[in-house]
Every structure is written in structure tokens, then in C-alpha cells.
Chain A
Amino acid sequence: MASAMPGSCVVYRCAQLCAMMLVALASGCVSEQQKISATRDVNAVFRTEYERVLAEDGTHIYHVPRDEAFQALRVALGGLGMRLAEQSPDLGYLSVYASAPDPLTRDEWLRAAQADLPKFRGILEQHLGLAAWFVSFEPQGLDVVINATTIQVRGGTAVSLTMRMREVAPPKSGYPRREYAPPTAVRMGLRKIWGALERELPAASGRRS
């Protein structure tokens, strides 16, 4: 997981090169098994957080028919830059994807990374030592995949979302990919999607389930 801080000034570039050299040095001292263990631990922690976020905000119920909710959901996700991978209106299933950090903006992604990075590095440090401090979140080479389902329930439609990271290119850092997005990014992404959906359903009042 190489650092990939954006910047255009020479000083910043120099700093970035130095950091990469330090990471390369540090990485050279870390075994593959340590990397896998570190990634597994991070995944475990992030999965717990992710499931907690989904339990809190992963499903909303709207007082609209399922077809209406499905159409609105498709439009809302499209509006956030997500592309359609699969849809089954008769089943009530919709799968969309986009290159990370969509549906977050770059700024939102950075804010989410800053919020979760200390915890992330804290976990890595147990396995990687000092090298953990040169690891960062990177959106490059990753897709965000969202599965959305709409199920007819009593009095309306339950809309559920799940979110995962899918690797489309190998990471520059050489570390294994994580499946789970940083919890803050998940929370922000869900909030954006629900907001967009509710704008598409102005007449429907939503509630969490």
C-alpha cells in the first residue's frame, strides 16, 4: 500500500519520493506472511465496523411500491456515477459499480481516510512495525461494488445496500487488497446514496430498519 499523496510542487514530489523509498525499505523488511496477517486483521476489524454500519443504516423502508423504489434507486445510483452491472427488476436486485472513490468525491474519500487511518495503522503496526506508518488508503485500482435489493414488505418496500471493494489492478504497495472499505467511507457513501434516493422519492418518507 504505497502512499499516493496528490501534489504538484517540487517539494511535495521530493517528499513523496523519499517516503516511497522509506516504504520500499520498510517493505523489504516485512515478510509476505506478515502482510497477509496484517491484512486479515484489518479486514476483520473493518468487517465488524462495516456490519455495524450496515445494521444501523443499511436498510431503509419507504412507503412506496417496490417497482417505484427500484426505479428510483437505479436513477439515484446512476446520478452518483455508479454504472449498472446487473439488474433484475422481477427479483428486485440491482448491482452497480464504479471506480473508487465513487460514489464519494476525492475530498470525501480523503476525509474518510484521515478519520480511519490511525486505527488502520494501529492494527498494521502489530504486524509490520514501523512500516505501518508508511501505509495509506489508496483508491487506485479498486472498484466500489454496490448490491442493492428491493423487497416488498408490509406497508412499503425495504431497500438494502451492501458495499465492497473489488480489485481491478494490483496495488503498487504490493500488499494484499482489503475487501472492506474504511468504515467512515462506508457510512458517508450510504448517507449519500440514501439522500439521492430520497430526492428521487420526494413523496415517500423513509425510515431506517
Chain B
Amino acid sequence: MTEDGYPDALPRGYHLHWYLLERVLGQGGFGITYLARDTNLDQRVAIKEYLPIDVATRRNDATVRARTEAHDERYRWGLERFIREARTLARFDHPNVVRVLSVFEFNNTAYMVMRFEEGSNLATILEQRGTLPEGELLRILLPILDGLELVHNAGFIHRDIKPDNIHVRADGSPVLLDFGSARQPVGHSPSLTILVAPGYAPFEQYYSSGESQGPWSDIYGLGATCYRAICGTPPMDAIARSKGVLGSARDVLAPATAVGAGRYSPRLLKAIDHALEFTERDRPQSIAEWRRELLGEGQQAALAPAAPSAAAARSERPAPASGGGWPVFRTVLAAAVALVVVAVLLRFYPFSGGGKSGPPPETAPDPAAQLKERLAKVEQQLAEERQRQAEALAQQQAEERQRVEAERKRAFEAEAARKREAEQKKLAEERQRKLAQQAEAERKRQAEQKKHAEERQRKLAQQAEAERKRAEQQARQQAVQSAKPAAAPPSSAALLEKADRDYTAGNYAEALAALKPLAARGNANAQLRLGKSYAEGHGVAHDDARAAIWYRKAALQGNPEAQLQLGELYASGRGVPHSDFEAYVWLTAAVRGGNAAAKALQGRVAKLLQPVEAEQAGKLVTNLPLPDAAK
């Protein structure tokens, strides 16, 4: 529905009772498997939803329905099977078979809740490593055999054995997954969906009938998985093989004995080839049989770990001839046959004591006694032989157990050492990371402190500067205030007024004495009057150049009278170089400042300029300040 790549899947975050769906793990012909969280127990689980895509489909309300009415019966039948099989599989509590925790109906379909196994998929491991060494392969294979045997004994076959369905946990133990395809092989509907994993499915699985399928079918899958693990590629597909086989041509599958020669033991390679026999009757018929081939008769009892529940499950069905006692069994059988033969002979032979024939000759030794004696000897020899073989077997088994135990111990220790080393490395890295983090934090803290210190310093400096300015201001104010009552100097206007009076009265020295300081301090009116003093030669020597200097100072402050006077000087060339342009500038400024007397002269000078020069001069005037009155 919303999951990318799985249009039929339920969306992420969907609630199935107390299971919260997290993502899709995969989809097959029979349904979709999700990774979910059991919110009650707060643990991850895998949930398989029954959704046979060839007969059913998902509706918008998340329910699953048969595609058509014609499909409904088949869908219902499959649903019932799914639930029943889930319940059956839930009975298996084997460390190497995925644990079914629950099954329930919802959304018009059913859901099988399984334990979620962390670790790596065997297919992924093989993809990464290409092949596996014999020891490692057997460490994965043998526990799987044990789990699968439990399933077979319960009357099920997996039907989809392949590397993708074998999971290897972090501790190296394998677990068989995905029993979604598991079926009871005998006596059920012929409408089973054909399940084939090319290369891993035997030829009989290409038939729709399940009658010819059995443990040998799973053994083919296991053999193919082993074949993939020793030569790097799966065996060719059974259909392709059938062309060679049915055409009376040579089977084109390269045998494991050829592919793995020199790298794997002949026993293992032969067992793989046997499992991969094209015709089902030519293969091992049970897991036990194949295990014996894999391990040799003496080893399998020691190597195959017997899980209690598996043994219990096996006990529900008659167990196949089990393992390592085959030579003893044969010996005992031979002895029993011999005894029967002897008994028959005793029963029917004339020398039998119970016979109908005449009495034996008196001088002849008693044949019955001789026979009994021989029989006793035979029995004794047989007993001795049995004892010897049992002892040898026990010793062999003990040695094998020790070897396996030692090997397991070594592997365990190596694994523990590896884990310890990894843990130490991780701890060291963690320590290093923490140190780096601490160093970084310290660096940041120091930088922050430095920044704060600088900020503080800056603020202090600002405060000090503000304080200094305030103090200066206060000092100035105090100075002004303290000076005021003492000196109480007349204002500039008053001084100017007095200077004007003195000037008019011809008291030029006093007038200039008042004007000069005022002009020097930038008083435009005082500058104008001082300029006039120089221009008119009153109180000072006539000096147009000096007059122009004071006029310019006042004119630049926007004094229109000074601007007019300066303009006249430029127009006439007195005290300054003759410049109609600059004359026009000052006269225009004077006119702009409201000096009407400047107007006539400005007009005359304008005629001497180019229009563009007048325009250029006008722009200069706009940059001059306006007189206070004109503002």
C-alpha cells in the first residue's frame, strides 16, 4: 500500500493488535513478512501475513479478499492450511528452527508471529565469501539437519530450503526460516502452488502434485545449498538437468566430487552428490540416512546435538534406523539368523533330541551335546565380539566426542577471544572518542570563556569610554557653568553689534579687536565684516586678497553678502585671478540666498559663460550651504 516496492504490503506504522509494523522484510508467493514490534513485550518479531497473490488481493480497507468468487474456495482452503500449519510449527521448540510465537486472524486473513532473528543470511555470507570451509559448513548444516529432522518427523516438509532461508546468528548458530511453504506432503490437495527456487528445488517440486515430495525433496535443497557453499555457485536448475537426464544424455551437473576434490573430504562430497541425485528414489530418503553419509557411521551420534524437544517430537513417530550402531546391529542380526538356523536344524534334523528318527548309536558322541557346545562357543564368540565392538565403538565415540568437544572449545575460545578483542577495541575506541569529545568540549569551553572575556573587556572599555566622555561632558558643563557667573562674556551677536557701532563710529581698532577672534572662531558675519575691513582699508591696510580670504570663509558658510562680494572680486579679478566661472558660482549662490543685489551682476557674468558652464556652476552651488534665513 505505501511501502516502496511492496504495493500490497500494509503501511509502516500499521497496528496489528499490539504489533506495530516497522517495515517489510520480504514478499513471496504466499504472503508478506514484516518486521514488527511487540508493544506488550517490547521486542522485535517477524510477522508473516497470508496473502497468496495469485488468488487474493488487498482491499483499500486493508482486508485481504479472494480475487474472484472462483478463487474464494482456494483462498479459504489455503488460509485454513496456513493457520493449521502455524499451529503445528508452533509446537516445535528447537534452537535451529524459527520459533513460531503466535497465529491470529485479522483483516480477513491470518498472521503468523515468529521470533525475529538477528544475524546474517547464509546467502549473504556466501555472496561475500564465495565458499565456506568444510568445518564451518558442517557447523551450519548439522544443526539445521537436526531441526529439519524434527519437522519431517512431524510430517512436514519445508519445500523451500536454500541459503536465503538459513539464518546465521551472531553466535554462529544457524536457524531455519520461512516455513511459509511447508506442507504435509501426502494425501492433500493437488492444487498446491508450485514452489521452486531455481537450482535448489528438485525436479519433483516442479510438479503440481505433492505426492512425490518428501524429506528427499528437502535433502535436495540441502545438498544444493552445500553445493553452492563448496563451489561458489548453485547447481543448475532441475529443469535444465532434466533435459540431460530424460534425453538419456549424461547428467550435465558437474558432481561435487569433481568440483570440490582436494578441498573437501570425499565423504562430504559424495554425500552432496547423493543428495543431488536427480530422481527422488536415488537420494537419501531421510535426514538420518543423509547425516550418516555426511559423518560416517561412527561420528554422527557424537556430532549431531540432540535437542530434547526434537527427540520428543521424533518419539511421536517411529524413528528411522538410527546411527552409529549399524555394525553392531548387523552382527546381532547375523547372530540371530544363525540362532534361528541352528534352532531349525535342531528342530528338524534327525540328531535332534526331539526328533522322530531313531536313537543315536551308543558309541558315537552325542551330536546334540556337540552342537550345544558349538552353539555355546559361537554365542560366547558373538558375545565377545559384541563386547569388543561395543567397547571399540564406545572408545571411538568417546574420542570423537572429545575431539568435537575440543574443537568446540577451541572455536568457543577463539570466538570469545575475538569478541573480547573486539570489545576491547570498541572500548578503546569509545575511550578515544570520549577523550576527543572531552577535548573538543574543553576547547569550546575555553573559546567560549575567551569570547566572554573579550566581550567583557570590550564592554568594560565601552563603559570606561562612556564614563570618560560623561566625565568630560560634566567637566565641560561645570567649566561653562563656573565660567558663566565669573566672566559672563557678551554673546557673539552683542559683540558684532558693538563692533558695528565701533566701525561706524570710526573706532576701527576696537571693532577689529572684537571681530578678529569672532571670525577666527568661524562666525560668518564677523568674517564678512573683517573682509570688508580689508576691502575698504579701514583699520587695516587695503588688501583685496585678504578680503577675498575672509569673504570666501563666510561665503562657504552660506553668507549671501560674502558670496556677492566674492563674486564681484572674481568678476573683476581683484585680489583673485579673474574667473567668470567662479564669479558666476558665487553670484548664483548669493542670489539663491536672497541677495537681490547680486542678480544683475550674475546676469552679466552668465552671458560670458557657455550654457553648459553655467549649468556646471549651478550644480556646484547646490552643494553650498544655505544661509540660516533662507533655510
In the assembled complex, the Cα of A37 lies from the Cα of B17 at a distance in Å of 112
Interface: B363 (CB within 8 A)? no
Q: Which B599-631 residues sit within 8 Å CB-CB of chain A?
A: 610-613, 616-617, 619-620, 622-624
Contacts of B582 in A (CB 8 A): 86, 88, 91, 93, 95
In the assembled complex, the Cα of A143 lies from the Cα of B231 at a distance in Å of 105
Contacts of A93 in B (CB 8 A): 581-582, 585, 620
Cβ of B556 and Cβ of A86 under 8 Å apart?
Answer: no
Cβ of A147 and Cβ of B623 under 8 Å apart?
Answer: no
Q: C-beta contact mask, A56-94 vs B, less than 8 Å → 1, else 0?
A: 001000000000000000000000000001101011110
Interface: A164 (CB within 8 A)? yes
In the assembled complex, the Cα of A185 lies from the Cα of B495 at a distance in Å of 57
Complex partner residue of B616 from A50, A85, A91, A149, CB under 8 angstroms: A149
Contacts of A32 in B (CB 8 A): none
Cβ of A91 and Cβ of B610 under 8 Å apart?
Answer: no
Whether A95 contacts B581 in the complex (CB less than 8 A), given A147-B613, A162-B610, A162-B612, comes out as: yes
CB-CB nearest in chain B for A54: B612
Cβ of A149 and Cβ of B579 under 8 Å apart?
Answer: no
CB distance from A56 to the nearest CB of B (A): 12
Cβ of B579 and Cβ of A92 under 8 Å apart?
Answer: no
Interface: B190 (CB within 8 A)? no
Interface: B577 (CB within 8 A)? yes
Whether A152 contacts B623 in the complex (CB less than 8 A), given A85-B577, A93-B582, A93-B585, comes out as: yes
Q: C-beta contact mask, A19-57 vs B, less than 8 Å → 1, else 0?
A: 000000000000000000000000000010011001000
Q: C-beta contact mask, B550-593 vs A, less than 8 Å → 1, else 0?
A: 00000010000000000000000000110101100100000000
Interface: A160 (CB within 8 A)? yes
Complex partner residue of B556 from A58, A91, A147, CB under 8 angstroms: A91
Cβ of A91 and Cβ of B585 under 8 Å apart?
Answer: yes
Interface: A138 (CB within 8 A)? no
In which size bucket is the chain B interface?
10 to 19
Cβ of A95 and Cβ of B620 under 8 Å apart?
Answer: no
In the assembled complex, the Cα of A192 lies from the Cα of B450 at a distance in Å of 56
Contacts of B576 in A (CB 8 A): 86
Most buried by B among A50, A91, A149, A152: A91
Interface: A2 (CB within 8 A)? no
CB distance from A98 to the nearest CB of B (A): 16
Cβ of B579 and Cβ of A85 under 8 Å apart?
Answer: yes
In the assembled complex, the Cα of A85 lies from the Cα of B580 at a distance in Å of 12
In the assembled complex, the Cα of A149 lies from the Cα of B621 at a distance in Å of 11
Contacts of A58 in B (CB 8 A): 612
In the assembled complex, the Cα of A90 lies from the Cα of B589 at a distance in Å of 15
Count CB-based A-B contacts (< 8 Å). 52
Interface size, chain A (Cβ < 8 Å): 23
Cβ of B620 and Cβ of A91 under 8 Å apart?
Answer: yes
CB distance from B167 to the nearest CB of A (A): 72
CB distance from A8 to the nearest CB of B (A): 38
Cβ of B581 and Cβ of A90 under 8 Å apart?
Answer: no
Interface: A4 (CB within 8 A)? no
In the assembled complex, the Cα of A158 lies from the Cα of B610 at a distance in Å of 20
Contacts of A50 in B (CB 8 A): 612
CB-CB nearest in chain B for A66: B623
Contacts of A92 in B (CB 8 A): 620, 623
Contacts of B620 in A (CB 8 A): 91-93, 149, 151
CB distance from A81 to the nearest CB of B (A): 20
Contacts of B617 in A (CB 8 A): 149
Cβ of B616 and Cβ of A160 under 8 Å apart?
Answer: yes
CB distance from A96 to the nearest CB of B (A): 12
Contacts of A47 in B (CB 8 A): 610
In the assembled complex, the Cα of A147 lies from the Cα of B582 at a distance in Å of 10
In the assembled complex, the Cα of A34 lies from the Cα of B293 at a distance in Å of 137
Cβ of B623 and Cβ of A86 under 8 Å apart?
Answer: no
Contacts of B623 in A (CB 8 A): 91-92, 151-152
CB distance from A152 to the nearest CB of B (A): 7
Whether A147 contacts B581 in the complex (CB less than 8 A), given A90-B556, A164-B613, A179-B610, comes out as: yes
Cβ of B616 and Cβ of A147 under 8 Å apart?
Answer: yes
Q: Which A126-167 residues sit within 8 Å CB-CB of chain B?
A: 147, 149, 151-152, 158, 160, 162, 164
CB distance from A55 to the nearest CB of B (A): 9
In the assembled complex, the Cα of A160 lies from the Cα of B617 at a distance in Å of 10
In the assembled complex, the Cα of A51 lies from the Cα of B614 at a distance in Å of 12
Contacts of A90 in B (CB 8 A): 556
CB distance from A54 to the nearest CB of B (A): 5
CB-CB nearest in chain B for A148: B616
CB distance from B569 to the nearest CB of A (A): 12
Contacts of B579 in A (CB 8 A): 85-86, 95
Complex partner residue of A86 from B577, B611, B612, B619, CB under 8 angstroms: B577
Q: Which A73-127 residues sit within 8 Å CB-CB of chain B?
A: 85-86, 88, 90-93, 95
In the assembled complex, the Cα of A51 lies from the Cα of B581 at a distance in Å of 17
CB distance from B484 to the nearest CB of A (A): 35
Contacts of B610 in A (CB 8 A): 47, 162, 164, 179-180
CB distance from A137 to the nearest CB of B (A): 19
Beyond A151-B619, A162-B610, 14 additional contacts (C-beta under 8 Å) are: A51-B612, A86-B579, A86-B582, A93-B620, A95-B579, A95-B581, A147-B616, A149-B617, A149-B619, A151-B622, A160-B616, A160-B619, A162-B613, A180-B610
Q: Which 5 A-B residue pairings sit nearest by Cβ, starting from the closest?
A: A162-B613, A86-B579, A160-B616, A162-B612, A149-B620
Query: B: which residues have CB within 8 A of A?
Result: 556, 576-577, 579, 581-582, 585, 610-613, 616-617, 619-620, 622-624
21 A–B contacts from the bound complex (CB under 8 Å): A50-B612, A51-B612, A86-B577, A90-B556, A91-B582, A91-B585, A91-B623, A91-B624, A93-B585, A93-B620, A149-B616, A149-B617, A149-B619, A151-B622, A152-B623, A158-B619, A160-B616, A162-B613, A162-B616, A164-B613, A180-B610
